[in-house]
Amino acid sequence: MLKVVRAASLTQTLMPHETADSPYVLGAASAEHDRLIRQAAIWNPFTERLFRDAGIGTGQRVLDIGSGVGDVAPLVARLVGPSAEVVGVERDPATIATARSRVAEAGLSNVTSKATSEASRSANSSTQ
Ligand SMILES: C[S@@+](CC[C@H](N)C(=O)[O-])C[C@H]1O[C@@H](n2cnc3c(N)ncnc32)[C@H](O)[C@@H]1O
């Protein structure tokens, strides 16, 4: 069964004048990446509790939309275990590069970071 946990909805965070192609309002500069990392260090225990309470656990496959520099996906990867999988989807290439390098540094083989365009290509190819 597919479980959907919405920590934050991207569509809900769009401002009235924004579309999916608009620049992301908080940007992707290194200061924003640093902010996300500091924020995760504070919130990770609460995020983990939310996911556990929502029933995320061993063996599940999880999709992390708007995955940023790779703080939430590794946390989930530890909850689901090495034989399961977490796919992070992110629109910004520099942000994905940072996430990939942090995931590699953490030695996690069950986390994949994809660009939104790559993610839509794999979704299309798996339905053909
Ligand atoms: C506030 S950050 C949160 C990152 C991460 N989830 C975390 O909690 O640390 C939101 C991220 O969503 C990405 N994003 C925004 N719109 C997106 C879209 N339409 N598709 C994929 N990623 C998107 C941004 O580039 C940004 O990295």
Q: State the SS3 of 1-16.
A: CCCCCCCCCHHHHCCC
Architecture (CATH level 2) of domain 28-126: 3-Layer(aba) Sandwich (3.40)
Cα(68) to ligand 1 centroid in Å equals 5
Its pTM stands at: 0.82
Q: Write the DSSP string, 62-91.
A: EEEES-TTTSHHHHHHHHH-TTSEEEEEES
- Measured from the CB, is residue 85 less than 6 Å from ligand 1? no
- Measured from the CB, is residue 66 less than 6 Å from ligand 1? yes
SS3 for 22-33 is CCCCCCCCHHHH
Structure tokens at 65: 């939309």
Supply the pLDDT for residue 16.
59
- Measured from the CB, is residue 36 less than 6 Å from ligand 1? yes
Question: Would you kindly state where each structural domain of the chain is located, as residue ranges?
Answer: 28-126
Residue 70: Cβ-neighbour burial (10 angstroms; 0-12, 13-18, 19+): buried
Question: Which ligand 1 atom is the nearest neighbour of the CA of 95?
Answer: 27
Supply the pLDDT for residue 24.
82
For a ligand 1 pocket test, name from 5, 6, 10 the mutation site with the most ligand atoms within 8 angstroms of its C-beta. Answer: 10
Residue ranges of the chain with per-residue pLDDT less than 50: 9-12
